[in-house]
A = this chain, B = another copy of it.
Amino acid sequence: MLLLSGYLGLTAQKKPVIAPNKQAVLSSIQTHEKELVNLSDQVWSFAEIAMKEHKSAKVLSDYAEQQGFRVQRNVAEIPTAFIAEYGSGKPIIGILGEFDALPGLSQKAQTSKDPLNAGAAGHGCGHNMFGAASLGAAVAIKELIASGKLKGTIRFYGTPAEEDLGGKVYMARAGVFNDLDICLDWHPSYENLANMQSSQAVVDYTVSFKGKSAHAAADPWNGKSALDAAELFSIGMNFLREHIKPSVRIHYVYKDGGNIPNVIPDKASVWIWIRDSKRSGVSVVEERMKQIAKGAAMMAGVEVDMHLNNGLYELLVNETGAKTLHANMELVGPITYTKEELAFADTIMKAYGGESYGIDGSIKPIEVTRPDPDGGSTDVGDVSFIVPEITLNAVTAPYKSPWHSWVVVACGGMSIGHKGMLFAAKSLSTTMVDLFENEKLRQDIRKEFEQRKGKEVWKAMLPEGKPPVPKE
């Protein structure tokens, strides 16, 4: 409470001194408010999953085109990936927009659980707002460039397939982030925060074994069991746990564990993920995993194939960037809610799990970076190894909402979500004004980026070949 009023006081002091360009972007977002809400709501109702976001990508890219952006579609051979650019020359500031949904989470914008379309996908991670807000912020900057008040290039990235398949990693592999000076993104949350928390790096493998069938009762000695190998691999990985750092996580399931008991399985496979707070830490365990897989195959007398499905880097945060963002969040001011919205938050949380913690529109102080992040990974991490990344969290749901649940879907489709989306658009656009105007700031941000990155050389963790675009 004390802290909150302190910040409010700070905001109060700053409000009078809003610079003209910042005033302009705030006005722009107000001007386009209905359009942005409409974009968010359309994407919310489309609720398309990874690499299938055809309608969602279309409404966003079409809008960008209408607003005067140059639009490039089918980026990195992904039909739903696109880039919308305006202006020319340096600096080039990027902003990311996600728009994919989660399977099975369809839900109406109401306080009781009820799917919009039974069995369909839903925006349980709020990406409908993500794309719209980022695009709104880009449009506001574009108008300043168009009017000659800012110089350089604004580039909006329509980035599909965050929830699965790692869309941005394919885009990064194609080099589309290489010439950026700085990049921004945000994520729906239950706290307003200039993010200083990294995410987990991860690799995702399918380890498959190939042996030789035999009748399990008549001549099991003529078989080489791929299932034995899969189990020995798993056992080996569990023994490895003693020798991994506390920040590492290893988890797996059996994708193929044999067909029928009376046949020695000639095929078996384990789907395994390895995470750590840093890519470098993941690599250490990844190498051990490969040896364990080879050892298991050798033990069972079978062949092994280790297929890298994909991998994500941890998020490199940037304190200089976060502080700039934080100041602009203060400038924008906290989100306030109506009685109806507060009641909605209360009701929906009680409907979900019995307990409500309200909804908190205040602006949180920047957190100390914890060395070991919670169990989340994001493909923004890969972008953050190519270009300095500034990440905003903006409130679109009640405090302590269960993420990836119907609660988040419901709130993302009504005014609570809309407010968070507009707060994000404003915070990001005012921050971009600073970034365009202040070369020293850009240099400081990049300097910190280089220090944090250190000697790590980014390399897309992807299988060779085209992205896994599903066939229609």
Contacts and interface: CB of A to CB of B under 8 A. Distances in A.
A251 B216 contact: yes
A225 B240 CA distance: 9
Contacts of A224: 243
Oligomeric state, in number of copies? Answer: 4
Nearest to A214: B243
A251 B262 contact: yes
Given A298-B298, A299-B296, A260 B253 contact: yes
Nearest to A287: B301
Nearest to A265: B253
A227 interface: yes
A264 interface: yes
Interface in A243-286: 243-247, 249-255, 257-262, 264-265, 271-273, 275
Contacts of A264: 242-243, 251
Contact of A220 (B251, B259, B294): B251
A238 interface: yes
Given A258-B254, A259-B253, A273-B261, A200 B221 contact: no
Contacts of A262: 251, 273, 375
B261 A257 contact: no
B243 A221 contact: yes
A253 B227 contact: yes
A48 interface: no
A4 interface: no
A300 B247 CA distance: 20
A388 interface: no
A200 B216 CA distance: 13
Contacts of A299: 236, 239-240, 291-292, 295-296
A288 interface: yes
7 contacts: A217-B251, A236-B300, A242-B264, A262-B375, A291-B299, A292-B299, A295-B296
